[in-house]
Amino acid sequence: MCIFCKILNKEIPSNPISEDDKFLSFHDINPKAPIHVLIIPKIHIDSFNDVSPQMMADMTAFIQKLVEKLGIKEDGYRLITNIGEHGAQEVKHLHFHLLAGSRLKWGHFTDADPKNNL
Ligand code: 5GP
Ligand code: ZN
């Protein structure tokens, strides 16, 4: 069972923020910003590659509510989902990172030449 399924099963503790019947949000254990929250579906889906458009619609509504709850709508935030090897996805259970709480940097994603494919 994957680590996020263990969190959903309460075999591993987490610091939850919100949940409904389909999704859970909780604080990332290794935050990269003052606010770093993970949003996951309650059923195991490997990545964005496998999510249905309907589930993404429901997840969008869930994340928008979470943003309201956190009070970060006006100041802004960043949503990221890492996919597969090149996306550097470590946990193979679909999750969105919600990063906020200060102005984020827009950085250096790879050592490969970014102009290679222009
Ligand atoms: P990925 O690299 O797969 O997109 O991100 C996985 C994220 O899960 C990382 O930011 C990592 O800190 C977080 N993470 C890994 N294990 C745990 C855990 O047991 N609890 C929590 N709250 N976050 C975790
Ligand atoms: Zn899982």
Give a yes or no: residue 68 inside a domain.
yes
Tokens encoding 92: 């193979």
Query: Using a 6 Å cutoff on CB, does residue 113 contact ligand 1?
Result: no
Spatial separation of the C-alpha atoms in residues 85 and 82, rounded to whole Å: 9
CA of 114 to the centre of ligand 2 (A): 33
* Residues spanned by the domain of 19: 3-103
Q: Residue 86: which CATH number?
A: 3.30.428.10
Q: Could you tell which of 28, 32, 96 is best to mutate to test the pocket of ligand 1, judged by most ligand atoms within 8 Å of the CB?
A: 28
Instruction: Assign 71 to helix, strand or coil.
Output: coil
Share of the chain above pLDDT 70, in %: 99
Number of folded domains in the chain?
1
Q: What are the respective helix, strand and coil percentages of the chain, to the nearest 5?
A: 25, 20, 55
Whole-structure pTM value: 0.97
* pLDDT, averaged across the chain: 96
- Can you give the pLDDT at residue 116? 75
Specify if 117 maps to a domain. no
Residue 111 lies in a domain: no
pLDDT digits (tens, 9 = 90+) for 39-80: 999 999 999 999 999 999 999 999 999 999 999 999 999 999
With a cut of 70, say whether residue 87 has pLDDT above it: yes
Has 93 been annotated as catalytic?
no
Catalytic hit among 36, 44, 86, 95:
95
Query: Would you say residue 118 lies in a domain?
Result: no
Ligand 2 centre to CA of 35 (Å) is 23
